[in-house]
């Protein structure tokens, strides 16, 4: 007789000796006599049960214990994967990620199939979500799948308590907690539409209030920080790090999320458009297309990067690349966001501002200064007025002119 099931294998309780590997989702069986594990080489539940039944028939025939009617009854349940009484949250998340989101692996590399997750708001409502969002959802789903606390049945009467326990490790990280909660809500709403569960339990789990970051870098602090960036200490050598300070200038002047700046290619810069040219790109997060008309200062900065690459004889489609004094693995490759985050933090500490300012604060500084300079605009590419206001830390006083006259004729009195 098979041993007592652990929680993560409880959904397979009616199939003795059949188990599921948590790390890769592949089913396997354990020989009841030798206790040797045998992979069924499939992640599909129905196929796994069919193969299990064939092996069980061989084993029980050898032992004289095979019951044809019992095996037939078990085989008839192989299509009942969608029953909430059988499927665990971990398995359903994996199914949603691979079959609905289209995330998978081939030869050790990530591949994307057809996506059946649609945007729920904005101009893209009803269309398949952008690849950047699919990556985020897949990452969240994998993180939740990997937790032992996701191994419970969707029919569990204490599902709310189970989900809260699953999300508990991220309570001190509100932004990530709410992101995981939102992903889980999408998955469970799909389970409702699938008929696996009756309602989405996430409705009863509140988001955590996220502390609003309202940090505006003073001009003098920015100058001191970028002065430190111009001195690049690397491998016990001191190099000219002006290119690092120029990257910060570009993040500020474009006023975009750093990830949208680091991916900028020269082909996205239209030098002959307008007076000084334009920068064409789409926001990584939402896919919203943006065109920035350059002024003389931004055009000069773009030209600086082009000339800097030419002087170092670097040929790359990317505007910002590592200089040649880097090692072979990095030189002439696109500059990474993470590298500049670390460089910025080190420069802040050297300038006497340890932990006060972050690289992402340059976007908010840029959009605030732009609003003070030109008034109402949507340089940040936001789809709501609320998000535009979120990135404006200073609002100038509303100016008006008085044209009213007294309703009483005071001269007659």
Please check the confidence at residue 14 and state whether its pLDDT lies above 70.
no
Q: In the Cβ-directed half-sphere of 302, how many Cα atoms lie within 13 Å?
A: 24
- 377 in helix, strand or coil? coil
Q: What is the pLDDT of residues 79-130, one digit of tens each?
A: 333 444 578 899 999 999 999 999 988 877 888 888 888 877 655 677 888 8
Q: What is the pLDDT of residues 309-350, one digit of tens each?
A: 999 999 999 999 999 999 998 999 999 999 999 999 999 999
Q: Other C-beta atoms within 10 Å of 152: how many?
A: 22
pLDDT mean across residues, the chain: 81
Q: Report the alpha-carbon distance of residue 7 to residue 9 in Å, rounded.
A: 5
Q: Which residues pair with 292 in a beta bridge?
A: 279
Q: Other C-beta atoms within 10 Å of 64: how many?
A: 6
* Pair type for strands 27-30 and 37-39: antiparallel
Which comes out higher in pLDDT, residue 108 or 358? 358
Rounded to the nearest angstrom, the gap between the alpha carbon of residue 119 and the centroid of all alpha carbons in its chain is 15
Query: Could you tell me which residues come within 8 angstroms of residue 117 by beta carbon, excluding any fewer than 6 positions away?
Result: 100, 101, 128, 129, 134, 137, 186
Compute the C-alpha angle 223/271/303, nearest 5°. Answer: 35
Compute the C-alpha angle 379/259/248, nearest 5°. Answer: 75
- Of 285, 279, 286, the residue nearest 123 (C-alpha): 286
Q: Which domains does the chain have, with CATH numbers?
A: 7-78 (3.30.160), 89-204 (1.10.150), 219-390 (1.10.443.10)
Judge contact between 147 and 164, C-beta under 8 A. no
Report the range of poorest mean pLDDT among 26-40, 183-197, 234-248, 334-348.
26-40
Q: Which residues pair with 105 in a beta bridge?
A: 110
Report the range of poorest mean pLDDT among 94-108, 197-211, 284-298.
284-298
pLDDT of 62 reads 60
Judge contact between 338 and 287, C-beta under 8 A. no
Which comes out higher in pLDDT, residue 73 or 199? 199
pLDDT of 78 reads 39
| Band of pLDDT at residue 156, cut at 50, 70 and 90 | confident
pLDDT of 195 reads 86
Judge contact between 396 and 376, C-beta under 8 A. no
- 246 in helix, strand or coil? helix
pLDDT of 381 reads 53
| Band of pLDDT at residue 13, cut at 50, 70 and 90 | low
Q: Other C-beta atoms within 10 Å of 293: how many?
A: 14
Q: In the Cβ-directed half-sphere of 385, how many Cα atoms lie within 13 Å?
A: 1
pTM for this structure? 0.56
- Of 254, 255, 294, the residue nearest 274 (C-alpha): 294
- 352 in helix, strand or coil? coil
* Pair type for strands 37-39 and 103-106: unpaired
Compute the C-alpha angle 209/365/300, nearest 5°. Answer: 145
pLDDT of 339 reads 93
């Amino acid at each position: 007789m098979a041993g007592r099931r652990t929680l993560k294998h409880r959904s397979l309780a009616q199939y003795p000796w059949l188990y599921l590997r948590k790390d890769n989702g592949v089913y396997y069986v354990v020989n009841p006599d030798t206790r040797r594990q045998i992979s069924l080489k499939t992640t599909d539940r129905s196929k796994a049960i069919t193969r299990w039944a064939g092996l069980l028939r061989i084993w029980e025939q050898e032992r004289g214990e095979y019951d044809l009617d019992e095996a037939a009854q078990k085989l008839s349940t192989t299509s009942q994967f969608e029953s909430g009484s059988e499927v665990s949250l971990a398995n359903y998340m994996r199914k949603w990620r691979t079959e609905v989101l289209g995330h998978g692996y081939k030869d050790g590399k990530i591949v994307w199939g057809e996506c059946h997750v649609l945007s729920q708001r904005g101009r893209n409502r009803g269309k398949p979500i952008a690849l950047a969002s699919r990556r985020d959802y897949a990452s969240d789903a994998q993180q939740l799948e990997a937790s032992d606390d996701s191994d419970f049945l969707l029919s569990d009467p204490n599902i709310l308590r189970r989900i809260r326990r699953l999300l508990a490790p991220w309570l001190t990280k509100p932004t990530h907690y709410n992101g995981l909660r939102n992903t889980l809500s999408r998955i469970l709403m799909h389970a409702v539409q699938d008929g696996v569960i009756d309602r989405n339990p996430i409705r009863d789990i509140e988001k955590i209030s996220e502390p609003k970051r309202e940090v505006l870098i003073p001009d003098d602090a920015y100058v001191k920080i970028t002065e430190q960036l111009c001195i690049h200490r690397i491998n016990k050598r001191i190099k000219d790090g002006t290119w690092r300070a120029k990257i910060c200038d570009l993040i500020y002047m474009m006023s975009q999320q750093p990830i949208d700046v680091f991916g900028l290619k020269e082909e996205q810069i239209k030098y002959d458009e307008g007076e000084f040219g334009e920068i064409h790109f789409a926001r990584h997060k939402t896919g919203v297309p943006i065109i920035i008309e350059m002024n003389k200062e931004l055009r000069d900065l773009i030209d600086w990067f082009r000339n800097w690459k030419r002087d170092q004889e670097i040929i790359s489609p990317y505007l910002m690349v590592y200089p040649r004094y880097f090692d072979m693995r990095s030189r002439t490759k696109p500059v990474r966001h993470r590298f500049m985050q670390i460089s910025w933090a080190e420069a802040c500490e050297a300038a006497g501002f340890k932990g006060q300012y972050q690289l992402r604060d340059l976007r908010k500084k840029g959009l605030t200064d732009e609003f003070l300079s030109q008034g109402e605009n949507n340089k940040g590419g936001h789809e709501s007025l609320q998000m535009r206001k979120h990135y404006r830390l200073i609002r100038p006083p509303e100016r008006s002119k008085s044209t009213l006259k007294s309703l009483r004729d005071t001269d007659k009195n």
